[in-house]
Amino acid sequence: MIASTLKPPYYAVIFSSIAAENKDGYGFMAEKMEELVKHQAGYLGHESARNEIGITVSYWDSLESIKKWKLISEHLVAQQMGRDKWYAAYKVRICLVERDYGFDSSLF
């Protein structure tokens, strides 16, 4: 599903990753983080896909909201587990969305 967002401007956090071979506990933690983030002030939604490279884009109302999410204690644990166990490599990019547009055939 495509995330609903505010009228721009808003922010996107792009998390690109390459998985390590050890995925023990990853699914549980991913579900826990998905539930936790939904309750964070400023969170607008996210979209995710995984193939050879995993990409998750989360949307936020402000840089302050992004900073607060990064420092949530359970999220800090997940970040450390990712570095120690679940990811061979990752990159985070934070972007200002100045314009968006789209199409939805279900509206026709």
**Residue extents of the structural domains in the chain:** 10-99
Sign of the alpha-carbon dihedral angle for 103, 104, 105, 107: negative
pLDDT in single tens digits along all 108 residues of the chain: 899 899 999 999 999 999 999 889 999 999 999 999 999 999 999 999 999 999 999 999 999 999 999 999 999 999 999 999 999 999 999 999 999 999 988 878
Helix, strand counts (H, E) of the chain: 3, 4
Select from 41, 34, 38, 44 the least CA-distant residue to 3. 44
Prediction pTM value = 0.91
* CATH class assigned to 10-99: alpha beta
